[in-house]
Structure 1
Amino acid sequence: MGDWVMRKVSLATKNSTEGTLGPMWEGSYEVTKVCHRDAYQLRDANGKTLPHPWNADYLKYYHK
């Protein structure tokens, strides 16, 4: 908890106008809660909590 991460852009979150040259990662998000072994609740830099937990496979550590 307290670490900052980037979230992988998926088909559901990808902007369709950017095509294949769009960014692969978005964010920076703060880990606020460990929900399961590999699932984390995230909060963006504005303080808004994301609606569901994210699996660690779709996150990478962000160096501030």
Structure 2
Amino acid sequence: RNPSEGKLSANWDGPFRIRHAIHNGAYKLEELSGKVIPRTWNSTHLKTYYS
């Protein structure tokens, strides 16, 4: 997120696909193109995306 965009800019990146669940609500994500996101994400930081 670019801080110069201001408070009206989008607060979320994505959408991403869950590659696999690790443990205790941690997930490995990938872009829709298949590129793996390098870190894990906790489910509290994810939002459901409906297409």
Q: TM class by shorter-chain length? A: 0.7 to 0.9
Structure with bigger RCO (C-alpha 8 Å, 6+ apart)? 1
2:47 equivalent in structure 1: 60
Matched positions, count = 51
Asked whether 1:35 is paired with 2:8, we answer: no
Q: CA RMSD of the aligned region, Å?
A: 1.0
C-alpha displacement at 1:37, in angstroms?
1.5
Would you identify which runs of 4 or more consecutive aligned residues in structure 1 move more than 4 Å? Answer: none
Q: Between the two proteins, what is the percent identity of the paired residues?
A: 35
SS in structure 2 of the partner of residue 51 of structure 1? strand
Larger-Rg structure: 2
Q: Where in structure 1 are there 5+ consecutive unaligned residues?
A: 1-13
Q: Deviations over 1:4-62 (max 9, x none)?
A: xxxxxxxxxx2122111110122010001111111100001121110011011110111
* 2:34 equivalent in structure 1: 47
Cα distance in 2 between the residues matched to 1:18 and 1:42? 26
1:25 aligned residue? 12
